[in-house]
């Protein structure tokens, strides 16, 4: 149990376009989902926290207008990178938490975004 | 805000040896969890072990154990009888507990552990 999927696993887009990444909890209801960003050979940095039905809370320095997060249901959160530029190229990882299961976060497999 | 420091960018040991990865953290919080995650080349984050700050007993999961020193804000991971499959990046992470919920994770920079045959 506690499986989280992400789609797509990798995406290449042109500069100026928008890209949507989906994060789904497959066998549990995710009351909270988190989005992280990981640059090559670096650690994970928390970008934002989203609770189902509420606006996402962004970490300091993360542009909320560039990284749109929607958590419309208890099993789906989306991250949309708007007007993507090469510096947005990174590995994006989501995690999900179900308060019934406690505080553990279950991670998705990640999405590699390359902006040309 | 809290910080997590892993001072060993890379470590290499022989198979079957015991290795200890260090982690220190800084926080003014009293209610929190600490984690060690493993990230193999597939980049899937895998939970290795978890420690609740209010528990004095060190957590253990098979070959993996921690040395949690709350006063010193230290949280090291010991891997016994290391195996080739343990080769991966290891991240120490901190999570603040608040009310009925929890914040996201704050990660250290990671330690690249290489198990040599």
| Residue length of chain B | 117
* pLDDT at B102 exceeding the cut of 90: no
Q: Among B37, B57, B59, B111, which Cα is nearest to A106's?
A: B37
Q: What is the pLDDT of residue B67?
A: 98
Residue A79 Rama label (left phi>0; alpha psi -120 to 50; beta)? beta
Q: Does A34 touch chain B (CB under 8 A)?
A: yes
pLDDT digit string (tens) for B25-57?
999 998 999 999 999 999 999 999 999 999 999
- Residues of chain A above pLDDT 90, percent: 78
- Look at A107 and B45 and tell me if their CB atoms are within 8 Å: yes
* pLDDT at A93 exceeding the cut of 90: yes
* pLDDT at B15 exceeding the cut of 70: yes
Chain B residues in contact with chain A using a Cβ-Cβ cutoff of 8 Å: 33, 42-45, 47, 50, 91, 95, 97, 100-110
Question: With b meaning 16 or more CB within 10 Å and e meaning fewer, what string describes B19-49?
Answer: bebbbbbeeeeeebbbbbbbbeeeeebebbb
- Look at A91 and B43 and tell me if their CB atoms are within 8 Å: yes
Residue B55 CA to residue B70 CA, distance in Å, equals: 10
- Look at A103 and B95 and tell me if their CB atoms are within 8 Å: yes
């Amino acid at each position: 149990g506690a499986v989280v999927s992400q789609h797509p696993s990798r995406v290449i887009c042109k500069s100026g376009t928008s890209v949507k990444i989906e994060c789904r909890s497959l066998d549990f209801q995710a009351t909270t989902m988190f989005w992280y960003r990981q640059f090559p050979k670096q650690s994970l940095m928390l970008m934002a926290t989203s609770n189902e039905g509420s606006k996402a809370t962004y970490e300091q320095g993360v542009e909320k207008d560039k990284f749109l997060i929607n958590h419309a249901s208890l099993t789906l959160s989306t991250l949309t990178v708007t007007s993507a530029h090469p510096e947005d190229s990174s590995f994006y990882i989501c995690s999900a938490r179900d308060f019934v299961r406690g505080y553990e976060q279950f991670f998705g497999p990640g999405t590699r975004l390359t902006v040309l | 805000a809290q910080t997590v420091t892993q001072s060993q960018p890379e470590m290499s040991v022989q198979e079957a040896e015991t290795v200890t990865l260090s982690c220190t953290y800084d926080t003014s919080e009293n209610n929190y969890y600490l984690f060690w995650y493993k990230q193999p080349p597939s980049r899937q984050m895998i939970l290795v072990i978890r420690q609740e700050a209010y528990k004095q007993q060190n957590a253990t999961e098979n070959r993996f154990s921690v040395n949690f020193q709350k006063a010193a804000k230290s949280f090291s991971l010991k891997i016994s009888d290391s195996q080739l499959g343990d080769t991966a990046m290891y991240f120490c992470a901190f999570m603040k507990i608040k009310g009925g919920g929890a914040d996201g994770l704050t990660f250290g920079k990671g330690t690249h552990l290489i198990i040599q045959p």
